[in-house]
Chains A and B, each alone.
Chain A
Amino acid sequence: MASSAFLTISNLVKRFGEVVAVDHVDLGIEAGEFFVLLGPSGCGKTTLLRCIAGLEHPDEGRIVIGDTTLFSSDDDIVLPPGKRNVDMVFQSYALWPHMNTFENIAFGLKLKKVPHADIKRRVDQVLDDLGMNGLQKRFPFELSGGQQQRVALARLLANQPPVFLMDEPLSNLDARLRLDMRSELKRLHHDAGATTVYVTHDQTEALTMASRVVVMDKGVIQQIAPPDDLYRTPANLFVAEFIGAPRINLLRAEPFSDETGTRLRVKDFNIPAAWLPDRKEVVVGVRPESITLHTDRTGDTVEFSVYAVLPAGPEVFVHVVRGDITLVARTAPGLTLAMDQSVWVGIDASAINYYDVESGELVPPPRA
């Protein structure tokens, strides 16, 4: 990891009794990044975020922001949360119900002994920026969910921390508002330019907003990559299966070559391969959009039968079966398919990834 990282986490461990919630995590987050921690619930992403905030006390490791060490087990440094210069937007927003909007935002500034006139100016300014002017006197219960969420953001912005921490801030909003807030948050991040560490279990949220994503499982980092790489070349089967909806198709296959070229044998049929991995057997990952369906036998295709057709507006998901193998294909509307009819399945060989059968790790392509 580049030494220029603004927020560095090294060898961080956090245990809850027997459970290792964060397992020797190393991360370097660049200044200005929108960095997303993604994973299923219980994967340790929220614990990691809370370790950065100082709300959890790690067992081992080191956390450094800029040139301030927030935590170091070796040097016995534990900076209390209030001195870390970070602020967080909580999943439930954590607005104090007995304080109005102004008081909620001003709370931390008052504790920091910011002069009253400055506080007022700053609160009014952030509320204005978020289109919330005039709601200073409202109590949280008098605000809609979306407004509460903005107050929580305003509280963070008014404190002007160099690092924004966000713990699933959009998960309590209804679906439509969530879509709107995604673009707003992205814009906000762009305008404020602050380093943002964002926790979510929603892969779409991660892929749409992040500059880089770290996928975690059972406290261990699975992959760190920009969203596009994460989708195209998942580093292992866990990431491959976790990212993408509907789920990636996984098939066991034996590589071989014949007169037509390099191929993969799957049960009683075979499909084309762009290159041959150096294994006797591999797991093949095929995204639904890399599969094409034809109602007639054409080219290099295999006969399947239609199991179910699931139209979803601009796209249609088709489940096809052959023996005990089921594949999901993403197609454009227009193809008329009946249940149990025969279809011929083509697979885009260039979009296939290979994974080791034992370790589940990606088998890298040979260097060209």
Chain B
Amino acid sequence: MPGRKSIASRLGNSAKRQIRSPEFIISITLIIVLSYLVLVPLFNLAWRTFSWAPGDTRISRDAVPGQFTIAHWDRMLFGRVSSKMVWTPLANTMVTGTIAAAAALLLGGTLAWLVVRSDIPGRRIMRTMLTLPYLIPAFAIALAWETMFKSPLAGGRAGLFEMLFGAAPPSWLSYGPVPMIIAMTIHFYPFAFILVSGALSSVDSQLEESAELQGASRWTIMRRITFPMVLPAFLSAMVLTFGRTIGGFAIPYFLGGPVNYWTLSTMLFRNLGMGLDVNGYVIAIILIVLASALVYFNTRVLGGSTRKFEIIGGKGFKASLASLGKWRWPIFAIVSAFIVVACISPIALLGYQSLMLIDGQYGLSNLTLHYWTGPSDPAIAFGSPGLFRSPVVLGGAWNSIRFAVTASFIASLVGLIIGYIVVRRRKSWISKLLNQISFLPYLFPAIAFGAMYLSMFAVRRGPVPALYGTFTLIVLVAVVKHLPYTTRTGASAISQIGQELEEAAILQGSSWLNRMRRIVIPLASSGVVSGMMVTFVGLMRSLALILLLITPSTRVLMTVAYRYAEDNITQLSNALVLFVTVITIVGELVVWRLGRGRISRMREAKH
């Protein structure tokens, strides 16, 4: 037959068609770049722990720089220092993490039930207020705790507690596991609260109503129907919360460090600070393994049971509310008091402390705005001027904004593109690979990720210059670390756009770029912008991720605050953290507004 070609040339042509498509080119480019930014640093980090470094000849006679060795792991896991370096911090991490996660869940779950399912007064406003502590950076909670409970007994100045009660608090309440657990519980319970109240309000009311028709009491329904259905969400929230505690830095560092109570993340930091880089990298890998195991457990073990309960997410419901009876107002009072303690007091404490000219003197005459607006005075805080006059702070603010804007913009754009490929080419191996690579950074606790980049970019590698100390590096680390989130935001924005909207354009002869410009980006923009704001807010308050990579020229507000806290200029660090908290809350409010706008606009995109 004329014109008939061999199978080989046909395959060749269809392959060529695929390779020339813009999506394919972009996908392959992204896979290569992300591999370099995610996989290579991971392997590099691992290799550093399995090879002799040039300086190691001093510590071991056997050391041959560049050669493979398990000596570092042997020393860290089984040597003399192993207990101090790994096992004790690991135990501390597990103990504080599990207790805090369990407490956060109990607290969040109870509050969720009260707000969603009981007749407690003011349910709607409470629901909003109870999520607020999530907006307060962990750093702020740690500093607020210190302001309240520090005491001479624990080797510091007197805190507000001593002033109010006339006696110093017991030292276990000042520093160590107890304050860490309490601070983490306050910081993380909103996460459980949001998850559980979401699950509770989406349980199909018909399931409960039919139990009621069978004659089950409200308590029985709660115990036998509702609770088993939200249990998977409950367990999943617990595992995820625990996963977040293990990567936490500010709380264990400021509340555990002063009494030498170290967790894996703070021990990692400490080792790097002492120049024991390899030790830090070993701990970083342990952290990554731990976090990966938790994610695996959550998706494989709990994931299955979540899927079994897909009846959750039936239609919206209007279930009758459980009556609290005579306990209604007392419970309301307790919850309100909790809101004051957990949401308002940290901010108030930081604000108050930042107004004290001399820390620890509680009197009206000691109040001053010096730390906010005062000029430099050699007698106060080593001559540091007030926040709004300090070149360090103003420079840091400019850096913070520049950093957060650039990184959140790039992360969102890349996330949108990956999200597009993941949603639209769901079945192809390219999209699966891309999806997995972009998810990987989720497994790396922030401080470990910082360590990876430190080990990777401290020196020149081939055509890539030593990026340490550059603005580019902190933007890079932030973009890659946030890709798991922005990719999901991007994917959900894309999946809101029906494929047929693009197909209709294809039939009109619209090219890929034309479709992107005219259809996809305009429709995805509102979703992507609110995702971008979330990233922006997260970056403004991020500390652990960039702490290892920041140099004086690239410092941002949170690292400046960290320095002040390290130097014990508490008024300045408190003022600065408070300032960032306010920015964060304002940012979240903007996101919230955008979110509402987004919902109404997305309703248009669906038919």
Interface residues of A (CB under 8 A from B): 53-55, 73-76, 78, 80-84, 86-88, 90-98, 107-108, 111-112, 139-141, 148, 155, 159, 172
Quick check: A76 and B13 within 8 Å, CB to CB? yes
Chain A proximity mask over B503-529: 1 for CB below 8 Å, otherwise 0: 111111110001000110011000000
Smallest Cβ-Cβ distance to A92: which chain B residue: B607
Cβ of B58 within 8 Å of any chain A Cβ, yes or no, is no
Q: Do A87 and B522 contact each other (CB < 8 Å), given the known contacts A75-B3, A94-B501?
A: no
For A82, give its contact among B4, B508, B519 (CB under 8 Å). Answer: B508
20 A–B contacts from the bound complex (CB under 8 Å): A54-B507, A74-B1, A75-B4, A76-B13, A82-B508, A82-B509, A88-B504, A92-B498, A94-B501, A96-B501, A96-B523, A97-B605, A98-B522, A107-B508, A108-B509, A108-B510, A111-B509, A112-B509, A139-B604, A140-B604
Chain A proximity mask over B571-607: 1 for CB below 8 Å, otherwise 0: 0000000000000000000000000000000011101
4 more contacts with CB within 8 A, not counting A90-B500, A107-B518, are A82-B509, A87-B507, A92-B498, A94-B498
Quick check: A74 and B3 within 8 Å, CB to CB? yes
Quick check: A82 and B510 within 8 Å, CB to CB? yes
Chain A proximity mask over B1-44: 1 for CB below 8 Å, otherwise 0: 10111000110011001000000000000000000000000000
In the bound complex, how far is the Cα of B1 from the Cα of A201, in angstroms?
39
Quick check: A83 and B509 within 8 Å, CB to CB? yes
Quick check: A74 and B509 within 8 Å, CB to CB? no
The 9 closest A-B pairs by CB, nearest first: A82-B509, A108-B508, A94-B504, A94-B500, A97-B604, A141-B604, A90-B500, A97-B605, A92-B607
For B514, give its contact among A81, A88, A111 (CB under 8 Å). Answer: A111
Quick check: B507 and A88 within 8 Å, CB to CB? yes
Quick check: B522 and A90 within 8 Å, CB to CB? no
In the bound complex, how far is the Cα of B9 from the Cα of A22, in angstroms?
25
Q: Do A81 and B10 contact each other (CB < 8 Å), given the known contacts A74-B1, A94-B501?
A: no
In the bound complex, how far is the Cα of B518 from the Cα of A111, in angstroms?
11
Interface of B is mostly: helix
Quick check: A90 and B503 within 8 Å, CB to CB? yes
Smallest Cβ-Cβ distance to B501: which chain A residue: A94
Shortest distance in angstroms between A69's beta carbon and chain B's nearest beta carbon? 10
In the bound complex, how far is the Cα of B21 from the Cα of A80, in angstroms?
12
* Interfacial chain A residues near B4, Cβ < 8 Å: 74-75
* Interfacial chain B residues near A74, Cβ < 8 Å: 1, 3-5
CB within 8 Å of A: which B471-513 residues: 498, 500-501, 503-510
In the bound complex, how far is the Cα of B504 from the Cα of A155, in angstroms?
10
* Interfacial chain A residues near B5, Cβ < 8 Å: 74-76
In the bound complex, how far is the Cα of B3 from the Cα of A74, in angstroms?
8
Quick check: B506 and A55 within 8 Å, CB to CB? yes
Interface of A is mostly: loop
* Interfacial chain B residues near A139, Cβ < 8 Å: 604
Quick check: B607 and A148 within 8 Å, CB to CB? yes
Quick check: B10 and A159 within 8 Å, CB to CB? no
CB within 8 Å of A: which B426-468 residues: none
Quick check: A90 and B3 within 8 Å, CB to CB? no
In the bound complex, how far is the Cα of B504 from the Cα of A94, in angstroms?
6
Smallest Cβ-Cβ distance to B497: which chain A residue: A97
In the bound complex, how far is the Cα of B514 from the Cα of A111, in angstroms?
10
In the bound complex, how far is the Cα of B507 from the Cα of A55, in angstroms?
8
Quick check: A55 and B501 within 8 Å, CB to CB? no
For B523, give its contact among A78, A98, A107 (CB under 8 Å). Answer: A98
Chain A proximity mask over B365-392: 1 for CB below 8 Å, otherwise 0: 0000000000000000000000000000
* Interfacial chain A residues near B9, Cβ < 8 Å: 76
Smallest Cβ-Cβ distance to A148: which chain B residue: B607
CB within 8 Å of A: which B69-104 residues: none
Shortest distance in angstroms between A106's beta carbon and chain B's nearest beta carbon? 10
Quick check: B504 and A81 within 8 Å, CB to CB? no
* Interfacial chain B residues near A95, Cβ < 8 Å: 607
Shortest distance in angstroms between B554's beta carbon and chain A's nearest beta carbon? 39
Smallest Cβ-Cβ distance to B603: which chain A residue: A141
* Interfacial chain B residues near A107, Cβ < 8 Å: 505, 508, 510, 518
In the bound complex, how far is the Cα of B4 from the Cα of A53, in angstroms?
24
Shortest distance in angstroms between A139's beta carbon and chain B's nearest beta carbon? 7
In the bound complex, how far is the Cα of B5 from the Cα of A10, in angstroms?
18
Quick check: A94 and B503 within 8 Å, CB to CB? yes
For B500, give its contact among A92, A108, A112 (CB under 8 Å). Answer: A92
Smallest Cβ-Cβ distance to A167: which chain B residue: B500
Smallest Cβ-Cβ distance to B12: which chain A residue: A76
Shortest distance in angstroms between A53's beta carbon and chain B's nearest beta carbon? 6
* Interfacial chain A residues near B498, Cβ < 8 Å: 92, 94
In the bound complex, how far is the Cα of B506 from the Cα of A82, in angstroms?
6
Shortest distance in angstroms between B589's beta carbon and chain A's nearest beta carbon? 26
* Interfacial chain B residues near A91, Cβ < 8 Å: 500
Quick check: B501 and A172 within 8 Å, CB to CB? no
CB within 8 Å of A: which B310-351 residues: none
For A93, give its contact among B508, B605, B607 (CB under 8 Å). Answer: B607
* Interfacial chain B residues near A108, Cβ < 8 Å: 507-510
Smallest Cβ-Cβ distance to A87: which chain B residue: B507
Shortest distance in angstroms between B547's beta carbon and chain A's nearest beta carbon? 42
Most chain A beta-carbon contacts within 10 A, residue among B498, B509, B514, B605: B509
Shortest distance in angstroms between A28's beta carbon and chain B's nearest beta carbon? 21
In the bound complex, how far is the Cα of B3 from the Cα of A162, in angstroms?
27
Q: Do A78 and B17 contact each other (CB < 8 Å), given the known contacts A94-B500, A94-B503, A140-B604?
A: yes
* Interfacial chain A residues near B506, Cβ < 8 Å: 54-55, 80-82
* Interfacial chain A residues near B505, Cβ < 8 Å: 96, 107
In the bound complex, how far is the Cα of B514 from the Cα of A108, in angstroms?
12
Quick check: B507 and A53 within 8 Å, CB to CB? yes
* Interfacial chain B residues near A86, Cβ < 8 Å: 507
* Interfacial chain A residues near B1, Cβ < 8 Å: 74
Quick check: A90 and B510 within 8 Å, CB to CB? no
* Interfacial chain A residues near B3, Cβ < 8 Å: 74-75
Quick check: B507 and A82 within 8 Å, CB to CB? yes
Quick check: B503 and A76 within 8 Å, CB to CB? no
In the bound complex, how far is the Cα of B3 from the Cα of A76, in angstroms?
9
Smallest Cβ-Cβ distance to B601: which chain A residue: A97
Smallest Cβ-Cβ distance to A110: which chain B residue: B508
Quick check: A96 and B519 within 8 Å, CB to CB? yes
* Interfacial chain A residues near B514, Cβ < 8 Å: 111
Shortest distance in angstroms between B500's beta carbon and chain A's nearest beta carbon? 4
CB within 8 Å of A: which B257-289 residues: none
Most chain A beta-carbon contacts within 10 A, residue among B5, B504, B505, B518: B504
In the bound complex, how far is the Cα of B10 from the Cα of A94, in angstroms?
34
In the bound complex, how far is the Cα of B518 from the Cα of A159, in angstroms?
19
Smallest Cβ-Cβ distance to A82: which chain B residue: B509
* Interfacial chain B residues near A159, Cβ < 8 Å: 508
Shortest distance in angstroms between A10's beta carbon and chain B's nearest beta carbon? 13
Shortest distance in angstroms between A322's beta carbon and chain B's nearest beta carbon? 39
Shortest distance in angstroms between B22's beta carbon and chain A's nearest beta carbon? 13
In the bound complex, how far is the Cα of B501 from the Cα of A98, in angstroms?
11
* Interfacial chain B residues near A54, Cβ < 8 Å: 506-507
In the bound complex, how far is the Cα of B508 from the Cα of A53, in angstroms?
11
Smallest Cβ-Cβ distance to B523: which chain A residue: A98
Shortest distance in angstroms between B26's beta carbon and chain A's nearest beta carbon? 19
In the bound complex, how far is the Cα of B522 from the Cα of A2, in angstroms?
48
In the bound complex, how far is the Cα of B3 from the Cα of A88, in angstroms?
31
In the bound complex, how far is the Cα of B3 from the Cα of A98, in angstroms?
45
In the bound complex, how far is the Cα of B9 from the Cα of A76, in angstroms?
9
Smallest Cβ-Cβ distance to A84: which chain B residue: B507
Q: Do A87 and B508 contact each other (CB < 8 Å), given the known contacts A74-B1, A76-B13, A92-B500?
A: yes
Quick check: A111 and B500 within 8 Å, CB to CB? no
Q: Do A76 and B10 contact each other (CB < 8 Å), given the known contacts A93-B607, A98-B522?
A: yes
In the bound complex, how far is the Cα of B522 from the Cα of A90, in angstroms?
21
* Interfacial chain A residues near B503, Cβ < 8 Å: 53, 55, 81, 88, 90, 94
